[in-house]
Each structure stands twice: as C-alpha cells, then as structure tokens.
Amino acid sequence: MQTTVRSASVRRARVRGAVCGGAIVVASLMWCGALTSAQAPPAKPQRVETTMLQLMRGIFYPAANVFFAAQTVDPATIQKAWDPAISPDPLTSSYGQWLAIENSALAMAEASNLLNLPGRFCSNGKPVPVQNADWQGWVEEMREAGKTGFKAAQSKNQDNIIEAADVVAEACRHCHVKYRDAPGGIKNRC
C-alpha cells in the first residue's frame, strides 16, 4: 500500500512540476514577446522628396516610353550599347531588350504607390488630392496597367504589348484629363 501511495504521490509531483514548468515557459515567452515588441522602433513616416511633376518626369514618363517602344520595335532586335553597364538607354543597357520592357512595366506598377503618399505637392503648389476617390481609383488603375504590361512583356509578343499599351495609355489619360490637362492651364495643373 505504501508503494502505491508513494507512486501516486510521485506522479502528482511530476504533474505539478510539468504544469509549473510549462507555465514558466509560457510566461517567459510572453515576456520576451512583449519586450521585443516594446523595443521595436516606431515606423518612420514616408518622406516625399518630389513634386508630382518631378515624379512623373523622373519615373512614369521614361518608364512608359520604354514600354511603348515595344509596340513598334521588337526589343529582341535592339543591340546592346558599346558598354551596356553605362548606357543611359534602358533598352540597350545590361538589362535591356525584353527585360527593359518588363522592368518599365514593373516600375509603373510599383511607383503607383508613390502617387498616394501624403505630403506631395502638385506643380501648382497645391497638395496632391490623395483623398479624392477618383484619384485613388486612377492610381489603382495605373498599378493594374503596369501589372498588365508586365505580363505582356513576359510573353515577348508585340501583339500583347500593343494591347497592354492601350491599357497603360488609358490609365494615364483618365488622370491626365482631370489633373494634368485641367482647364485654366498651369494654375490648375497637378
């Protein structure tokens, strides 16, 4: 009988030890998680370095031109520059030909995120209307147009590029009609 009581008592002690040990492990993990999250630095706000005009001329305009070039010239036939590593023309650079078309489409899709950053100003000095529903819709349309262009570029088929170029051009046009080509000229232009 004493052996049975002693065995039961040892088992209960082991169970209590396992439960306490488990509780200590859980508490430690929770404390470490809280410590880690408490020590994480706060996210820095996005900084805006350009006006809308500079953003368009610096990213969207050159990227669209590279993409549109594939409508009339087969990128596979474009010769690399004498030193592709320093070529100012993406089509003749180290990452030229069809890869340049893919990259330009991706640049338009990815740079669409920059169109919605608060704090950017239009060329007329007014804030970019990121809160406007039409603006937000056209930014999303540009993002999707870039993705469509990328898929077309991956196909290495000029007919697909021509179709995708229509999608890109239409995305540009929707926003330009209201915000770039606004009646009244530069004072109303974003």
Percent of the chain with pLDDT over 70: 79
Q: Is the pLDDT of residue 34 over 80?
A: no
Position 46 scores a pLDDT of 81
Instruction: Give per-residue pLDDT as tens, 141-179.
Output: 999 999 999 999 999 999 999 999 999 999 999 999 999
Residues in contact with 161: Cβ distance below 8 Å, sequence separation at least 6, in sequence order = 67, 70, 71, 101, 149, 152, 153
Residues in contact with 82: Cβ distance below 8 Å, sequence separation at least 6, in sequence order = none
- What one-letter code names the amino acid at 170? E
Report the distance separating Cα 168 and Cα 105, nearest Å: 9
**Residue that is written with structure tokens 């320093």 in the block:** 86
Q: How many residues does the chain have?
A: 190
Q: Is the pLDDT of residue 17 over 80?
A: no
As a whole number, mean pLDDT of residues 49-64 equals 96
Mean pLDDT taken over the chain: 85
As a whole number, mean pLDDT of residues 119-133 equals 95
Backbone angles phi, psi at 127, to 5 degrees: -65, 145
pTM of the model: 0.75
Report the distance separating Cα 63 and Cα 77, nearest Å: 19
Report the distance separating Cα 176 and Cα 168, nearest Å: 12
> Among residues 120, 178, 177, 115, which one has the least CA distance to residue 142?
115
According to CATH, the topology of domain 52-188 is Four Helix Bundle (Hemerythrin (Met), subunit A) (1.20.120)
Position 79 scores a pLDDT of 96
Query: pLDDT category, 126, cuts 50, 70, 90?
Result: very high
Determine whether 35 is exposed, middle or buried from the number of CB atoms within 10 Å of its CB (0-12, 13-18, 19+).
Answer: exposed
Q: Is the pLDDT of residue 80 over 50?
A: yes
- Please report, for the chain, the start and end positions of each structural domain, with discontinuous segments joined by +: 1-40, 52-188
Q: Is the pLDDT of residue 105 over 80?
A: yes
